[in-house]
Every structure is written in C-alpha cells, then in structure tokens.
Amino acid sequence: MTCANNPCYIEIPGDKSITHRALLLSLFTNQEDCIIENYANSLDCQTTLNCLSQLGVKFKQTPKKLIINSTFFRNMQLASMTVNTQNSGTTMRLLTGLLAGCDTEFILSGDNSLNKRPMQRLCEPLKLMGCDFEYLDKIGYPPFKIKGGNLKGIKYRIDIASAQVQSALLLAGLNASGFTIVSVPTLVRTHTSKMFQALNIYQRNFNSQICGVKYLEQPIMPYNMSIPGDLSSAAYFLALAAITHSSHLFLPGININPGRRLIIDALIKMNANIKLINHKIINFEEVCDIEIKGGARLKPFNIDYKNIATGIDEIAILALLMSVANGTSYVNDAKELMYKESNRLALIIQNLENCGVDIKACPDGFVIKGGSQIFGDSLWETHNDHRLAMTGLIASCIAKRPINVDNIKCIDISYPEFIASLKLFSNTFDIR
C-alpha cells in the first residue's frame, strides 16, 4: 500500500447521476452544441447516450468530452419505437418522465435484470398527469407502453425516498401545464434541482425535500458543463483506505451533494482520519478534494430511514466497513435493496457471512458484530450487480485468504476503470 507520507492520487470518473441528467437535458435545447466534459463513460451512461441517438440526437464523443446537438424535444418528429434501456434503471426512469411529454407511443424495455425491477412508483403519478400506460408482461414491471402529451401538473408526495422518481416527475413537469410539485419523505440527492438552477430552468425549492417546476415555454440555452467526480465510485477506495493502516489517499474534485454523502458522514462518525478540503461550488453542486489516511480504530455506525436514501448505493461497502469496526452496527429500512440489479440485501448478508463475518438478517436490513478478521476463502456472488462486485474486490484486498468474485465484468456498468484504479492504490492487489 502507498506510503503514509506520499498519498496515492486517484482520478475518480465523472458523476454518473449528473452525467445522465446532463445528457437528457440537452433535449430541451434547440440545435446548438452542448459540451459535457469529464462525463461518466460507464455502460449505464452510454445506454442513455444510445437512447438519445435513437431519438435523433447527434453527438461527438472523445474520452473526456461529449458534444451533443439536439432539436428541441417538442419539435422532434418522432415515430413510435421501442427504447431499450439495457441495465440502466436511471435511464429508464428519467427517460420515461421525459417521453411522457410526447404524444408519440413508446415502448420502454430493459434487459432481464431491469425488467424485474418495479416501476409502479413512477408510472402511477405519471398516469395522474395524463400519460397512458400499458404493461406488456407483468403488472408494474417493464416492458411497458406509454403515450403522453397534454400533461397537467400535479402535487405529489412520493412515499419512499427516490431521487430518480422525483427527477422523472420534474422532467415530466417541464412538459405539463401549470405547476408540478414533488416531495420526498427524506433528503435525497438533488442533482436535478441544482442542474435546473445552473441552466436557468424555473424551479421552486420549498425546502430540501420539496421541489416544484412549471411548463417550460422556450428552449434553454446550450451549456458547457464539467462533471465532478462520483462519490459512489470513490466510496470503495475511501473504505479501503480507512481499513488499511499504511494507506494515504487523495481524491480530487469529488461531488458531495448533501443528498448522497452517507459514506462521508459514516466515515467521520466511525472515527476515520478523513478530511474534506478545497471546497468549491460548480454548477450549484458542492465539490471538494478528499484526503484519508488509514490506521484509525473504527467505531460502529447505524443506518435507518433517516439517512439511508443518502447512500442507498453504498450500503454494500458500508457493510464491509461495519464488519471491521469495533462494535455492533445495524442497517434498517433497506427494503429498497431487494429491487436493485440483484436482491442486493440478501447477497450482502450471504457474501459477508460466507467470509466469516458475524452478520444476522433482519426483515429489512441486518446487524453486524464487527471487529473480527474477514477470513475469505469463499465465493462472492454478484448476480451481475456492479456494486457487489466492487465490494467483493475490496473485501478480497483485506481478507486473510482470497475471495473469488464470480463476475467482475459487470463493474463496467458504473466504473470501467475500477480495477486499474485499484491496482494503482494497492500494488499487492491481484485479480483472483
């Protein structure tokens, strides 16, 4: 591991959530170039780009820059088509909200994994706005047929905190008469709201959990946007650095949106040696450099409904941190994890238990008695879930014996450079 006096610098890829939104909002410009720099080159974001291409959007792509040219959404002459969002739930939800403003008929479908993920929480409020839905297989699940246009604004409260559902309804609200006001029960990531601010799209934030928009009268101006580093991708290296005594890691330019910083809050409360420095605001998003050193004695940490939405994607790596902390930690209200790319909740419990971790299942979470060594010498099942695969590789780095992660290719869904970055950080790392 790197010497404590000489930090390892890792350039984390651009934020995936912000990249999706930057791509989709290009549909609200009118045949002028939008430039998106440091975009996430993950398979998920490439899926969004492919869907835009299917709708007629033109683009030029280099490793660090995208140039997007689109006709204003309402002026597009779109034929009925099937839009395949592959494995990307973000693409499906946000694009459904956007296409709900069009009177063309579309079929939204995904791969086998995505077609098992429930979509009723999005489809039901869009129906209230005037969009027609027809489920083509299982009720509440993709594939489904939509035909929108002539939407009307609504005031809607989402029962389970979801930034994707809130964002999809706000995108629909830009094409709906009157006002659309969407509230969530707890704080979620606010990328859509902040991007509306940056692009001068009217919105009203009643508080951190309620956002409103109105019908967008005119196309927005073309934009040049630089995407900050993805905190969800950084989380794996932050965890490894916190666990490893001799580590010293520096991550420049990471987005720390208040609605997604659970991993940072957890590390601070667990007594990790972490610093947030060089704070700045870029396109209304808070960005900073993160420095972390290993060697601290980690304390237990608890997660429940009050904070789980600010780190739902990081629960697997947080569970690994809990496994080495000195004391008992718990996660509650994590039912949402059952409907990710896999039943992530069940697999977190199974994989850690197979590694020798003292973990007990609860109806919607788990309890971990930490402090003992992770033995390894086990199979780590991913079910093609990229976040489980990355967590499994981090677990293998700290385990007494090797852990066999059954699929590392799925990591490309969110972080194609992950293994290269991990090798950079840990010169003893060996892909097993």
Q: Strand 365-369: give its sheet, edge to edge.
A: 302-303, 328-331, 365-369, 358-362
Last residue of some domain: 204, 220, 236?
A: 220
Rounded CA separation 63/37 (Å): 9
Pairing of strands 155-157, 179-183: parallel
Rounded CA separation 268/193 (Å): 27
Q: Are residues 267 and 215 in the same domain?
A: no
Q: Are residues 240 and 160 in the same domain?
A: no
- Per-residue pLDDT, averaged over 47-75, amounts to 95
State the pLDDT confidence band at 54, using cuts at 50, 70 and 90. Answer: very high
In a domain, 362, yes or no: yes
In the prediction, which pLDDT does 5 show? 64
Q: Is residue 176 over pLDDT 60? A: yes
111 is annotated as an active-site residue: no
In a domain, 109, yes or no: yes
Burial of 420 (C-beta count, 10 Å sphere; 0-12/13-18/19+)? exposed
Q: List pLDDT tens digits, range 76-103.
A: 989 999 999 999 999 999 999 999 999 9
Q: Are residues 213 and 247 in the same domain?
A: no
**The pair of three-digit structure tokens given for residue 7, joined into one six-digit string:** 């930090």
Q: Are residues 281 and 394 in the same domain?
A: yes
Backbone φ and ψ for 286, nearest 5 degrees, come out as -80, 130
In a domain, 116, yes or no: yes
Q: What is the percent of the chain where pLDDT is above 70?
A: 97
In a domain, 379, yes or no: yes
- Per-residue pLDDT, averaged over 296-323, amounts to 97
The CATH number of the domain holding residue 339 is 3.65.10.10
> Residues 125, 152: contact at Cβ < 8 Å?
no
Burial of 134 (C-beta count, 10 Å sphere; 0-12/13-18/19+)? exposed
Q: Are residues 209 and 232 in the same domain?
A: no
Rounded CA separation 207/203 (Å): 12
Q: Are residues 248 and 371 in the same domain?
A: yes
Q: Is residue 420 over pLDDT 60? A: yes
Rounded CA separation 3/188 (Å): 37
Q: List pLDDT tens digits, range 236-279.
A: 999 999 999 889 999 999 999 999 999 999 999 999 999 999 99
Last residue of some domain: 202, 220, 238?
A: 220
* CA-wise closest residue to 283 among 364, 236, 222, 225: 225
Q: How far is CA 39 from CA 59, 66, 67, 228, 383, in A?
A: 13, 7, 11, 8, 27
Rounded CA separation 69/59 (Å): 6
Q: Are residues 203 and 107 in the same domain?
A: yes
Q: Is residue 430 over pLDDT 80? A: no
In a domain, 375, yes or no: yes
- Mean pLDDT, the chain, integer: 95
Q: List pLDDT tens digits, range 314-348.
A: 999 999 999 999 999 999 999 999 988 889 999 99
Rounded CA separation 219/230 (Å): 29
Residue 275 belongs to what domain range? 228-425
In a domain, 396, yes or no: yes
Q: Are residues 89 and 171 in the same domain?
A: yes
Q: Are residues 365 and 404 in the same domain?
A: yes
Domain total for the chain? 2
* CA-wise closest residue to 266 among 230, 227, 292: 292
Q: Are residues 318 and 202 in the same domain?
A: no
- Per-residue pLDDT, averaged over 129-155, amounts to 96
In a domain, 4, yes or no: no
Q: List pLDDT tens digits, range 202-223.
A: 999 888 899 999 999 999 999 9
Last residue of some domain: 189, 220, 251?
A: 220
In a domain, 3, yes or no: no
Choose, from 44, 230, 313, 333, the residue flagged as catalytic: 313
Q: Is residue 428 over pLDDT 70? A: no
